[in-house]
Structure 1
Amino acid sequence: MKCYLVCNLDTHDPIPLPHGETVVLGRSPLTRIKDPRCSREQVELTANCKSCTVTVRQKGSNSTAAGDEELSQGQSTSLNQNGILYILKDHYPHVVKFIDDGKTDNSASSKLNSEKQDESYNMEKIKQGKKRSLSTESDSSSRKKIKSDHNHSKQRNEVSDNTGKKMKHEPNQLKRKHEKPISDNDDVECVEKKLKKMREDAAKDASIKEKHTPKRKESPKSDSVVHVSKGPALESRWTQHEKLHIYTKKGVEGRKKIASFDIDGTIITTQSGKKFPTHVGDWKIHYPEIPGRLKKLHNEGYKIVFITNQMGVERGKSKLEDMKTKFTSLTEKIPAPIQLFMSTGSGWYRKPALGMWRYLVNKVNDGVPVNIHDSFYVGDAAGRPEKWAPKKKKDFSCGDRLFALNVGIKFYTPEEFFFNEKKAPFSLPDYDPRKIKSNGDLLDPPNAKLILGKQEVVVMVGIPASGKSHFAKSYFVPKDYAYVNRDTLGTWQKCVAACDRGLKNGSSVVVDNTNPDPDSRKRYIDVAKKNKVACRCFFIPPLVAQSRHNERFRELVDKSHQAINDMIMNTAVKKMQPPNVSEGFDEVVKVNFIPMFNNPDHEKLYKIFLMEK
């Protein structure tokens, strides 16, 4: 019998606890804990492999927790098989595992079998009927078994999971009547062959399943493959899809009604009272009514879902490991099964875009269709103005309300939902994409000619993402206008040379740059005059909110697009001076932004809120 401490978050390999030896754990590379509240000698563990117990003694100044028991400095307690140790109270959960190495005395073996808590798997049963468990669980079980021989063979520590993933044990226990456990006498090469065969079987099974699963097109990502489960989740686990991280607590199952909530400012707030947490443990349940209310919702048939943006991970301001620890601990304080969606970057999975909701209803709701009318979302980013209530500040964004609008579900602020307060005033962003029309006058004045009918230079004027490039490529390039663009050529000098060259070749030219001031526009007016051709200006007025929406839309539909940062956008807006015929233009034409879509899914995407403010 061998004992291990297994990280519930899979952030590090299992830690051996040799029989009768004291192991001191805390903030170290071994546990990968960097939290300054955790001492380097936080807790002492002594395993008794005969009685299958681990003695836990608190050493650090901040509390450790063993199961539901909080320890203070100097206190001791014990944990049995599958007992949970929080190295720091509410944080860094680990599970005690006793593994039969084939040489355990009869009393210990009998105890483990009777409690159904042995985690070794029957290889043949896995191959025949446990393929779903295999892809996410079996490699980890075998790897941990190999690691149990650490003290006997250095070579065994080098056996790894070739998939590059760390997996967790599956909690439903298998009886071991016909099982031959991996023992100290097993040859490492033989074990590696078994693991390889198991992974190949799992990959083949997953490929067959995907091939026969019906799909339909989604925009901008296909999140429409429905994963069907046979019942409530058997274990708590984290999974990942691109920048989306999902935590499914044990007991979660698909339901028609979704009760969804933002986290920061809604479910939790800081203990310090500051606007932003000072460390990973700086949080508490926002209102004492929350746990009971969520349990009641679950009992009423709702699936409880947390949906949160955590852009700080992508920006390097917070660590993914810390966020997982924090939110895992949070769900343990809620007496109901919870599924949590965390977007760690920009793009399709960031609210108010629909990525997290689409993934929820299409992939991880067990194939159960969601009833939009009975579902709702609660969040504090509601677009409320300054002093919407006495001493209340303006909401930092309207992202939560916009997310609910995009989904088509009811929205509540935390005060409205938990305390039945009256609805507070709010305002939506200046740009409402739902009101955009695909008809109307394209030009102002309406009788202005789009194509002059003779050689000319057209100078586009507009801030980034205003739609000028789309306009130039849609109307002038198809009419054989030479296309001049600084993003392609690099400098304005090259653009001027290209314009001159195009005119000399007998073509009309469209200059697609921002051209924000008279000096930048004069260069092309002079080239037109030198070549004795007309020079017209097509101007798209600087509607900043609209341009930011256009920019976000381009990010979502074109992965190769280089995002325009706020500094560039703000600089362009400050520099913009509306053009005038007095500069030397033959005509200045105002362009009304009317988007055109060849893809109906792109049109649907464009007409939802993509910006949070």
Structure 2
Amino acid sequence: MTVIKGCRLICPNNTHDPILIPDREPVYVGRSEATRCIDPRCSRKQLEVIADWESGEVTVRQLGLNSSAIDGIELEKDRKCKLPKGGTIYLLVGMYPQRVEFTYKESPKSPSSPKTENSEKKNKEKKEALKRPASDHTSSNPKVKKPRISSVQGSKSHEIENGSADKAVEEDEEDIKQLEEKLKILKKNAAEKKFAFSSDSEGLLADNEQKKMTSSGKGKRGGGETSGSSLSKTLSDGSSLKKTSAGSCKSPATKSSSAGSDSLNRSAKESEGPPATETKWQPFEKLYVCTRKGVRARDKIAGFDIDGTIITTQSGKTFPTHSGDWRILYPEIPGRLKKLHADGYKIVFFTNQLGVSKGKTTIEDLKTKFGSVLDKLGVPAQILISTGGGMYRKPAQGMWDFLCQKANDGIKVNIDDSLYVGDAAGRPEKWATKKKKDFSCSDRLFAMNIGVKFYTPEEFFMFQKTAPFSLPEFDPRATVSARIVDPPSASLTSKSQEVVVLVGFPACGKSFFSKTHMIPKGYVHVNRDTLGSWKKCVDVCAKALREGQSVVIDNTNPDKESRQRYTNCAKTAKVPCRCFFFTATITQARHNERYREMIDKSHQPINDMIMNTFKSKLKVPELSEGFTEILRINFVPKFKDSKNERLYKQYLLEK
């Protein structure tokens, strides 16, 4: 038996030394030398952590004003939460991770009775006997009870004991024989399962394996069987097995050879995995995954949203009033899902639940609710729940990527045969009689990002016609212009002293443009985010001009009043002033902002209110304001790698 002898708080990134946690005494962690956290948003007593050594339970309570998190789920101030086993605590959401680690020691054994000691000894001898060769399981087998000889030879007791011993020997020998037979069968199956394709581009069987199959006439994999001669015939024409975009193997052969290919696929068993033996809930960063008992990994995915697609509220309200406020949307849904499952589809639900990170609901409530929904549907399914923003929130395809890479037992998903159904489809007001406008387009965009067929619930379950819809004005998949400036003949910098005033939405690329094109040419960079106020910006600009330097004003500068401050500086210094107007729309700027949040966890998000404020104040700059030239600057993204480029070219906005 083991008992806890110590507890400490450690950083997975090894940024600080372990912090000891006494038994059932509160420890306060936050901005301190012990945690090496100097973030001013983090309180000195940001979290209270209490560990119970006897039970191994850890409770966490947020005391600071800014949100902490457990496994990516934001905490609510002053509310005690139990830390899941192996869970990660974040002093601030997504930052400064901490883990609780217990250390153990063996407790002293209590005195055992002679009877208990004898029982343990017999069990130990029995286990050792099974490890010996079959030849040892006879008279030398310590597992076998030897006949006890009575002091009175030929007595009745002697006969009974001898008979019992002989019977025990026979039963033990029979058990050993059965175990050995099972072992032989397992070894034989394991050897036969080693048949596989060679890694050459033609996709033919490795020569030695092909010979074995041809001679034996049969090949097995995953329990299926196929004729060796039939398999050789199927592949002998030199047809290559090419990988499709979905990652599955398809032969380019004609329909006449499709039967052989189907036989091969069935024997390979690459389209299905074993059923889950129990229901599991697994937490990841801003993602929870529920895999119900009986779910099989499959190469065909039937994906569904939940709210508004599978269920609706019983109360008739837009949002549920409690975890039991739901009903199945259409009576046809359970039967249709069962038919899909019978046809070889894996049923997977993808749902955004931002209310978890905002404290409006809990993952425990969702477990109860979705468990009841699956019971009602009567079909084994998997659920992926995005609890916050970022990669996993639809329409970004993070949940789908997680499914394919980590939650499908290595079975490659066939995109062409998969589908997705959701109600956030971008349909306008009155797309059908008495129907409201869809709250967003996230489900349709999610399917477009993945590349699977998309249906609304009405189209899929009720076989209604496709309804009209609209997509966001900014299409990230479109080829971006490689031309940075209009007119193309214009020069971005000047050899003479000047002031350049930038105008554009937040996240439209102004700072990146300044650092790439202006600062390397000697321009003094003036930015309100770093200086703190427009007055300091004006002072720095005037000082640089007095010292004979050129200046770039990297602020949003939406109206004439804000721009006039710098045209006046240029006029006083008797130098020209140009304006660079960034053409990115508010939709593209919001897309850029969402992209930055996903690739840079240290980035401070810019909310929609700031974007809308700029839009309401924006006055397109004119030469009459005192500018000698106005250039239009196009947004041309630069990517660190192909992964970032792929992410940027997804639809990331829900509307």
TM norm structure 2: 0.59
Residue type at the aligned position of 1:595? P
1:484 to 526, 531, 539: 526
Q: Alignment partner of 2:298: what SS?
A: coil
Instruction: Check conservation: 1:436, 1:607, Cα contact below 8 A.
Output: no
Matched residue, 1:461: 503
Q: Does 1:373 align with 2:292?
A: no
Deviations 1:177-208 (A, max 9, x none): xxxxxxxxxx99469xxxxxxxxxxxxxxxxx
Match in the other structure for 2:364:
321
> Pick from 359, 379, 382: which aligns with 2:425?
382
- SS of structure 2 residue aligned to 1:322: helix
Per the alignment, residue 604 of structure 1 pairs with 646
Q: CA deviation at 1:404?
A: 0.1
In structure 1, how many angstroms separate the alpha carbons of the residues matched to 2:287 and 2:54?
31
* Count of residue correspondences: 404
Deviations 1:203-262 (A, max 9, x none): xxxxxxxxxxxxxxxxxxxxxxxxx99732111011111110111101112110000000
Structure 1 position 431, deviation (Å): 0.9
Q: Structure 1: how far apart are the matches of 2:616 and 2:55? A: 60
Alignment-derived partner of residue 537 in structure 1: 579
Alpha-carbon distance change, 458 to 374 in structure 1, aligned in 2, over 3 angstroms: same
Residues of 2 paired with 1:234 and 1:289: CA distance? Answer: 28
Structure 1 residue 317, shift from structure 2 partner: 2.0
Q: Of the candidates 451, 470, 473, which is equivalent to residue 493 of structure 2?
A: 451
The CA distance in 2 between the partners of 1:601 and 1:230, in whole Å, is 29
Aligned to 1:356: 399
Contact 1:456–1:528, Cα closer than 8 Å, also in 2: yes
Secondary structure at the aligned position of 1:158 is classed as coil
Which of 283, 297, 301 is equivalent to 1:254? 297
SS state at 1:281 partner: coil
After superposition, the C-alpha distances for 1:458-488 in whole angstroms (9 at most, x for unaligned) are 1101121222222222211222211111001
Asked if the contact 1:438–1:596 (Cα under 8 Å) also holds between the matched residues in 2, the reply is no
* Mapping for residues 560-571 of structure 1, pairs under 5 Å: 560-571=602-613
Give, as a single letter, the amino acid of the residue that structure 2 aligns with 1:453.
K
Q: Are 1:165 and 2:84 counterparts? A: yes
How far apart, in 2, do the equivalents of 1:503 and 1:229 lie?
70
Question: Secondary structure in 2 aligned to 1:611?
Answer: coil
CA contact (8 A) 1:438 1:595 kept: no
Alpha carbons of 1:509 and 1:543: their partners in 2 closer, same or farther (altered >3 Å)? same
2-structure distance, mates of 1:470, 1:503:
23
The aligned amino acid for 1:409 is V
Q: In structure 2, how many angstroms separate the alpha carbons of the residues matched to 1:253 and 1:269?
A: 27
Secondary structure in 2 matching 1:240: strand
1:165 maps to a residue whose letter is P
Letter of the 2:592 counterpart = N
* Residue 592 (structure 1) aligned with residue 634 (structure 2): yes
Measured in 2, the distance between the counterparts of 1:396 and 1:164 equals 35
Q: For the residues of structure 2 that align with 1:438 and 1:245, how far apart are their CA atoms? A: 39
Alignment-derived partner of residue 284 in structure 1:
327
The answer to whether 1:548 aligns with 2:590 is yes
- Decide whether the 8 Å contact of 1:542 with 1:573 is kept in 2: no
Q: Match of 1:569, as an amino acid? A: M
Aligned position for 1:295:
338
Of residues 273, 280, 285, the one that matches 1:237 is 280
Larger deviation: 253-262 or 383-392?
383-392
What is the Cα deviation at residue 598 of structure 1? 3.5
Residue type of the partner of 1:357?
A: W
Corresponding position of 1:52: none
Question: What does 1:381-400 align with in structure 2 at a 5 Å threshold?
Answer: 381-400=424-443
Deviations 1:554-585 (A, max 9, x none): 11111111111111111111111111111111
Q: CA deviation at 1:161?
A: 5.5
How far does residue 322 in structure 1 lie from its aligned partner after superposition?
1.0
Q: CA deviation at 1:299?
A: 1.1
Matched, 1:347 2:390: yes
Aligned to 1:494: 536
> Residue 619 of structure 2 aligns with which residue?
577
Distance in 2, matches of 1:405 and 1:516, equals: 35
> In 2, distance between residues paired with 1:352 and 1:157?
43
Q: What is the DSSP-based 3-state SS (H/G/I as helix, E as strand, rest coil) of the residue aligned with 1:274? A: coil
State the distance in 2 between where 1:166 and 1:444 align: 58
The alignment status of 1:471 with 2:513, answered yes or no, reads yes
Shift of 1:157: 8.7
- How many angstroms apart in 2 are the aligned matches of 1:529 and 1:380? 57
The aligned residue for residue 34 of structure 1 is none
Question: How many angstroms apart in 2 are the aligned matches of 1:579 and 1:533?
Answer: 19
TM-score of the pair, normalised by structure 1: 0.63
Deviation at 1:315, TM superposition (A): 1.9
Give the distance between the partners of 2:638 and 2:581, measured in 1 at CA.
18
**Following TM superposition, by how much is the alpha carbon of 1:348 offset from its aligned partner in structure 2, in angstroms?**
0.6
Contact 2:584/2:635 (CA < 8 Å) preserved in 1?
no
Q: Tell me the CA shift for residue 596 of structure 1.
A: 2.5
Counterpart contact for 2:272–2:299, Cα < 8 Å: no
Report the 3-state secondary structure (helix = DSSP H, G, I; strand = E; otherwise coil) of the residue aligned with 1:282: coil
CA contact (8 A) 2:272 2:411 kept: no
Distance 2:53 2:610 in 1: 52
**Distance (whole Å) between structure 2 residues aligned to residue 399 and residue 300 of structure 1:** 28
Letter in 2 for 1:160: G
Q: 1:506 to 1:578 in 2, by over 3 A?
A: same
> SS of the residue aligned with 2:275?
coil
Provide, for residues 374-414 of structure 1, a one-character-per-residue CA deviation record: whole Å limited to 9, x for no partner.
Answer: 00000000111111111111111110000000000000001
Per the TM alignment, residue 166 of structure 1 is displaced from its structure 2 partner at its CA by 4.7
Q: In structure 2, what residue type is equivalent to 1:490?
A: G
Q: How does 1:389-468 map to 2 (within 5 A)?
A: 389-439=432-482, 441-468=483-510
Q: Deviations over 1:27-61 (max 9, x none)?
A: xxxxxxxxxxxxxxxxxxxxxxxxxxxxxxxxxxx
Cα RMSD for the two superposed structures? 2.4
Aligned equivalents of 1:159 and 1:269: distance in 2?
41
Letter in 2 for 1:540: F
Question: What SS does the corresponding residue of 1:357 show, helix, strand or coil?
Answer: helix
Q: Considering only CA atoms, is the larger Rg found in Structure 1 or Structure 2?
A: 2
Q: In structure 2, how many angstroms separate the alpha carbons of the residues matched to 1:518 and 1:443?
A: 22
Change in 2 beyond 3 A, CA 1:230/1:290? closer
**Residue 586 of structure 1, CA deviation:** 1.3
Name the CA distance, whole Å, in 1 between partners of 2:619 and 2:538: 20
CA drift at 1:165: 2.9
Which secondary structure does the structure 2 equivalent of 1:331 belong to?
helix
1:340 is displaced (CA, Å) by 0.0
| C-alpha contact (below 8 Å) 1:257/1:372 kept by paired residues | yes
Tell me the secondary structure at the aligned position of residue 390 of structure 1: coil
User: Offset at 1:532?
Assistant: 2.3
Q: List aligned pairs for 1:118-129, cutoff 5 A.
A: none
**Residue 140 (structure 2) aligns with:** none
Does 1 or 2 have the higher relative contact order (CA < 8 Å, sep 6+)? 1
Q: 1:286 Cα shift?
A: 1.0
Match of 1:134 in 2: none
Q: Is the 8 A contact 2:299 2:413 kept in 1?
A: yes
Hey, what does 2:68 align to over in structure 1?
Answer: none
Report whether the alignment pairs 1:508 with 2:550.
yes
Distance (Å, rounded) in 1 between the aligned partners of 2:409 and 2:306: 24
